Amino acid sequence: MMEELSFHIMDMVINSIEAEAKHIEVEIVEDDISNTLTILIRDDGKGIKEGEKIMDDRFITTKKGKTVGLGIPLLKGTAETCGGSFSLKSNNPKGIEIRASFEKNHPDLPPLGNLKDTFLILIGANPDVDFSFTVKKGGHEFVLDTAKIKEQLEELPINHPEVMDFLKKYMEEYL
Amino acid sequence: MNLEELKKIREKAQRDLQLRQKQARIRIVVGMGTSGIAAGAREVLKTFLEEIGRRGLTDVVVTQTGEKGLASREPIVEVYEENKPVIIYGNINSEKAKRIVVEHVVNGNPVTEFAIEAI
């Protein structure tokens, strides 16, 4: 199990980037009524081709040093351990959609962890990818859409230090 | 604080951006596969982004990759520099990342004690 759910999010998003996704949506929803926490990741990458193996938690690859796809069963395992469920399906017209849900106050549920750092690092290290981050909890909704920010910036890169500093403060205030 | 403020940042930054439109001199790649993240690579990537940004090193690119196949030495960091061997660092943490920025990226001397390979 990862120490924080935000590490799982980072892991899934990096899979999307490796699959050449140019637009990645991350949505985190805490629902007090159903007592669930749901993480949704949607991308427009190459997706998972039929026959391509996602590693199952029952075996490990024999290819030396290769652990490709380990992150998915790890997240699935956490969801199932914490009274939730996991699904992975193709996204229309391309890419994938991952949905992991958890029982919100399950004793084994790792904390969400540092979402601000996670989002900021993903933006900073991948200025050409468009991210849409949504966090809904306690009646509050936070949305950060980098495509909209890029419109304001025109040709100035989103990972310019002053823009990064702005995004950091923006998240400190609103997330 | 709102997105309108970005316009001010843009106008101010564009002025000095024109003075320093250069090709990337160095590319720093942090291994961020599942095992890398579990080993603490997020802090390392964060440190590089902050240190490079803070020093205004606009000719340095910081990015990430998936698995690197060196799980036992993670977090792994690769430094690519034109016409020089690629230096692969292992077991990097935030403190070591700062030293790599100062000694290798700024002063041009790879930190041999952290290096596990030079290709």
What is the model's pLDDT at position B9? 87
Q: For residue A153, list chain B residues with Cβ-Cβ distance below 8 A.
A: 6, 9-10
Local structure of A28: helix, strand or coil: strand
The pLDDT, as a whole number, for residue A61 is 43
Cis check: omega of the bond before A161, within 30 degrees of 0:
no
Span B2-27, average pLDDT: 77
What values do phi and psi take at A45, rounded to 5?
Answer: -80, -165
B67 and A67 within 8 Å at the Cβ level: the answer is yes
Residues of B in contact with A163 (CB under 8 A): 6, 9, 13
At A49-105, the pLDDT tens digits run 655 556 544 334 444 444 456 889 999 999 999 999 999 988 877 899 999 999 999
What residues are paired with A103 via a beta bridge? A36
Tell me, what's the pLDDT at A125?
96
Going by pLDDT thresholds of 50, 70 and 90, the confidence category of residue B7 is confident
Residue pLDDT, tens place only, A111-168: 999 999 999 999 999 999 999 999 999 899 999 999 999 999 988 899 998 999 999 9
Compute the distance between CA of residue B35 and CA of residue A2 in angstroms, rounded to an integer: 10
Beta-bridge partners for A102: A37
According to CATH, what is the number of the domain A5-174? 3.30.565
Cβ separation B10–A117 shorter than 8 A = no
What's the pLDDT at B22? 62
Q: Which of A47, A152, A164, A156 is nearest to A97 (CA)?
A: A47
Rounded to whole angstroms, what are the CA distances from B57 to A125, B22, B24, B61?
14, 11, 10, 9
Greatest Cα pair distance in chain A? 49
Its pTM surpasses 0.80 = yes
A44's CB contacts (< 8 A; 6+ apart) are A21, A22, A23, A24, A91, A94, A95
Token pair of A147, please?
């495509």
Burial class (CB in 10 A: 0-12, 13-18, 19+), A154: exposed
**B46, B64 contact by CB (below 8 A):** no
Residues A156, B13: C-beta atoms closer than 8 Å: yes
Domains of chain B from N-terminus onward: 22-118 (3.40.30.10)
What's the confidence (pLDDT) of residue B20?
56
Question: For A93-108, what is each residue's pLDDT tens digit?
Answer: 789 999 999 999 999 9
What confidence category does residue A47 fall into, taking pLDDT thresholds of 50, 70 and 90? Answer: confident
Test B34 with A71 for CB contact under 8 angstroms: yes
Averaged pLDDT, B92-105: 98
Predicted complex ipTM = 0.87
